[in-house]
Amino acid sequence: MNQEEKTKLLNAEADRITDTISKIKYRIAVFSGKGGVGKTTISVNLAYGLCVNGFSTGLLDADITGPNVAKMLGCEEGVIYINESIVPFEKYGAKMISMASLIPKGQPLIWRGPMRSKVINQFLADVDWGELDYLIADLPPGTGDEILTIAQEMKPDCAVIVTTPQEVSVMDAERAVNMAKQMGIPFIGIVENMSGFSCPHCVAEIDLLGKDGGLKLADELGVRFLGKIPFEIEARKQSDIGKPAILKNPNSLFSKSIIEIVNKIKINQQV
């Protein structure tokens, strides 16, 4: 393939991405400075928090080498192609696409950044998302190529930075916030996950990972604090069996916290 043919293919892909984005009202990127903060759990439950509010929602698993969204939704089938377009899964009322549906279980993807970014482009260009109110992208931890690709191609309206109260997590979240600022994302908010744990025996509140780290960071950096989400054993169990906690236990503290965050995002987007 010569350079002219490559350029033609790239331009055609860019046109398809533009067409996809034009049909989505609002786009949210969820990421974190470090791993292990519950970012995917938050992404999935935010998506379904929007669904229960009546919004058409899509969930793009942009963590190409560590895709977990399919597991949290109990999706084990392979993808379907129709007329050269990828058909997203529809589960519990939302659309979803994940690299986990394209590779055998347990197979590692040992890919460099450009290959990972190429898949994200394909998820935007060739997945038939249709018309959506919201598309949420669950990104890998850190500040690497995938986040740059999402910022350039998906053009997020909102960045949700997930951290725990722990100082080492907050330190990395600061980098994520500053990256979102440099990329010009209009609305940036911080979610403090695993913020307190209610003992099931004595009902005492235990600050397992510290307290108010995300809140303090939001104040220091001048971004919106979206809220705290408690550590809840039942929410973890639901993720493991493929059912979003917000659908299974809508009256739990975890679910109520998610809905409060959804409402703040809705107000910002003026939906």
Please give the backbone phi and psi of residue 172, each rounded to the nearest 5 degrees, phi first.
Answer: -75, -35
On whether the CB atoms of residues 14 and 122 are closer than 8 A, the answer is no
- Name the residue among 239, 211, 181, 197 with its Cα closest to residue 39: 239
Domain positions in the chain are 3-269
**What pLDDT, in 10s, does the model give residues 110-143?**
888 889 999 999 999 999 999 999 999 999 998 8
Instruction: For 65-123, give the DSSP string.
Output: SS--HHHHTT--SPPEEETTEEEPEEETTEEEE-GGGTS-TT------HHHHHHHHHHH
Dig out the tokens for 71 from the structure: 């597991």
CATH of the structural domain 3-269, one choice from 3.30.43.10, 3.40.30.10, 3.40.50.300, 3.40.50.1950: 3.40.50.300
- Predicted structure pTM score: 0.91
**What pLDDT, in 10s, does the model give residues 21-59?**
999 999 999 999 889 899 999 999 999 999 999 999 999
On whether the CB atoms of residues 48 and 191 are closer than 8 A, the answer is no
**What pLDDT, in 10s, does the model give residues 68-85?**
999 999 987 777 777 778
